[in-house]
Amino acid sequence: MVQMKKVLITGVAGFIGFHTAKKLLEKGFLIVGVDNLNDYYDVSLKKDRLAILKDYEGFVFYEKDISEGLDVEKTGGVIHLAAQAGVRYSLENPLAYEQANNKGTLQVFEYARKNGIKKVVYASSSSVYGDCQEAPFKEDFKLDKPISLYAATKKYNELMAYTYHHLYGIKMTGLRFFTVYGPWGRPDMALFKFTKNILREKEIEVYNKGEMFRDFTYVDDIVSGVIKSYEKDFQYEIFNLARGETVKLMDFIKAIEKATGKKAKISFKELQPGDVLRTDGDISKARRMLGYQPSISVDEGVKKFVEWYKEYYL
């Protein structure tokens, strides 16, 4: 029997995949990593993350597109993080989401079924809550009004996971991540773009007059939630992984100003189609069933990001 400590991680060169793989390698797991290294954002950032993982003996990597099927060695379980991420880009290129998130996820579930793998942890997103007026968001809310195609694909992934659990008895845990940030973060996300421009004394674009709220979650807290989910033995569950505290965008910008020691030059823009005004995750289920305990505040987390950014880019 292939041991549970040998794990397939999809999207391993991505932001969350890299941190998850690194933590598991440090804990003595063997990681089979898959990523297609696409150019949605700077490929050299993905390659630099991979170079760090390749230093561990327990790491093997396959450059593959998951939507074409996963003919890789059998593992004891799967952590599926590969996806076409980003809400705004789903308005420009919806078919990329169909390919990576719908077809890709189906191929990952098929890999599990064909290899008799009984455990899959997969990434969903807080965007499935859409314009939900009731806050904080709870996992059992009825959600059938996604306001972006990205959100729709993530909701569909949760439905597919239920079907594969029902038909084949695969244990499925879906994780709704809430705005994840931290070192090695994504260049398409606000913290990265704001830090880059504030340091170069350029304007930053802030939507809806800054009247937006996000439950920002530090990447190490997310990774601890992913690993706890993998180590438990749930049949079919969905968890919010958030900090559990919503922060006004303007206060987030103040934390960046504090960490960089520079004042932001702000250009206010209209709310972007597909964007939600507020995310606010109820994490009581994750606390109770996973023992999940986010511990990094926005001030600490932003400081760690800015330190990494300066060391990596400047």
Please give the DSSP secondary-structure letter assigned to residue 208: G
SS3 of 247, please?
strand
Residues in region 92-131 near ligand NAD by CB under 6 A: 100, 104, 123, 125
Nearer to ligand NAD, 131 or 203 (CB): 131
Question: Is the alpha carbon torsion for 86, 87, 92, 97 positive or negative?
Answer: positive
CB of 186 to ligand NAD, least distance (A): 5
- For residue 259, CA distances in Å to 67, 194, 305 come to 40, 12, 9
Assess contact for 293 and 287: CB atoms under 8 A. yes
Pattern of binders to ligand NAD over 22-61, x per CB under 6 A? Answer: ------------xxxxx-------x---------------
Measure the CA–CA gap between 46 and 32, rounded to whole angstroms.
16
| Residue 240 contacts ligand NAD per CB under 6 A | no
Report the residue closest to ligand NAD, judged by CB.
14
- 177 C-beta neighbours (distance < 10 Å), count: 24
Query: Would you state the structure tokens that stand for residue 103, as one six-digit string?
Result: 């077809």
Radius of gyration of the chain (CA): 19
- 215 C-beta neighbours (distance < 10 Å), count: 25
The binder of ligand NAD chosen from 8, 22, 29, 67 (CB under 6 A)? 67
Assess contact for 135 and 278: CB atoms under 8 A. yes
Number of residues that bind ligand NAD (CB under 6 A): 28
The per-type count for the chain, helices as H runs and strands as E runs, is: 11, 13
CB of 307 to ligand NAD, least distance (A): 19
Query: Would you state the structure tokens that stand for residue 82, as one six-digit string?
Result: 């590969």
CB of 179 to ligand NAD, least distance (A): 5
| Residue 90 contacts ligand NAD per CB under 6 A | no
Assess contact for 239 and 176: CB atoms under 8 A. yes
Pattern of binders to ligand NAD over 176-215, x per CB under 6 A? Answer: -x-xx-----x-----------------------------
Residues in region 139-178 near ligand NAD by CB under 6 A: 177
The binder of ligand NAD chosen from 7, 8, 17, 255 (CB under 6 A)? 17
CB of 32 to ligand NAD, least distance (A): 13
Examine the residue annotation and report whether 122 is marked as an active-site residue of this protein.
Answer: no
The label of the residue with tokens 């606010």 reads: 280
Out of 89, 111, 150, 156, the active site residue is 150
Nearer to ligand NAD, 78 or 82 (CB): 82
Q: Which residues bind ligand NAD (CB under 6 A)?
A: 11, 13-17, 34-38, 46, 65-67, 81-85, 100, 104, 123, 125, 177, 179-180, 186
